[in-house]
Amino acid sequence: MPSNPQLKLMTELLHLEGVVVTNYQIITDIGIVLHLENMSRETEGIYCGNKTGKLHQNNELTIRDLPGSIPLVQ
């Protein structure tokens, strides 16, 4: 398991407000697998748009990123 300073660095590099890296793995031929936690106490319903403090479900989600040489924001 990565140390706290390593997790803090990964969280800062990710730069997503309210999201913390809780674990990560570097896997050969795949890349970096991040385990994230949303620290926000409220969320917005995906269908109704209402804010709620209740968690309805918690699922793993695989997101594939583009290669680092492609600028994502101009």
* Domain containing residue 12: 4-52
Establish if 61 belongs to a structural domain: no
At 23 the pLDDT is 93
Domain count for the chain, please give it: 1
Residue 20 lies in a domain: yes
Range with lowest mean pLDDT among 7-11, 38-42, 62-66: 62-66
What pLDDT score was predicted for residue 47?
80
34 belongs to a structural domain: yes
Q: What are the angstrom distances between the C-alpha of 43 and each of 13, 19, 21, 30, 62?
A: 23, 13, 18, 31, 20
Residue at 46 is within a domain: yes
For residue 5, the SS3 value is: helix
In a domain, 35, yes or no: yes
Nearest to 52 by CA among 64, 60, 44: 44
Model pLDDT for residues 15-59, shown as the tens digit of each residue:
888 899 999 998 888 788 889 888 888 888 778 888 888 766 666
